[in-house]
Amino acid sequence: MDWVWELFKPYIMREMRRLGDENPSNEVLQHKFIEILSVSTVSVLVQEPWQNSVRFKGLAKYDASSMMPLINNPMEYLFENFGGGKFKLNFHHGLNFVSTRNFKPEGEPKWVDMEDIGY
């Protein structure tokens, strides 16, 4: 889960400044991280060839209660559920974009015939 903390940390620091806390303790930061993560979502997108370019196809969107298997082992989860490809995980807190992280598990893509859910 350390990799998720690193993605959320800049967003949480901005939130703390917005709330008037310029120097939050580690305990306060961790509490805020859990609070924000517990109401966040993550979208799984895959890069696919399109015309003479690429686009991102939305494959899944998870809320906090269902994202833990993905964030605990993203490479394994992506490969088992979607196969190989160039994936992008976009984290949101409500309507606010938090951060993104890319993963590239090797193997045959299972996602090719999946419907685009948008994002």
- Specify the pLDDT at position 49: 83
pLDDT interval class at 83 (50, 70, 90): very high
- Which pTM value belongs to this model? 0.91
In a domain, 16, yes or no: yes
Provide the residue count of the chain: 119
Give the Cα separation of 96 and 116 in Å (integer): 22
In a domain, 99, yes or no: yes
Give the Cα separation of 1 and 40 in Å (integer): 14
In a domain, 117, yes or no: no
How many domains does the structure of the chain reveal?
A: 1
Give per-residue pLDDT as tens, 37-82. 999 999 999 999 888 888 999 999 999 999 999 999 999 999 999 9
- Statement: residue 1 has pLDDT above 90: no
- 8 lies in which domain range? 2-103
In a domain, 13, yes or no: yes
Query: Which of 33, 27, 28, 25 is CA-nearest to residue 9?
Result: 33
- Specify the pLDDT at position 50: 82
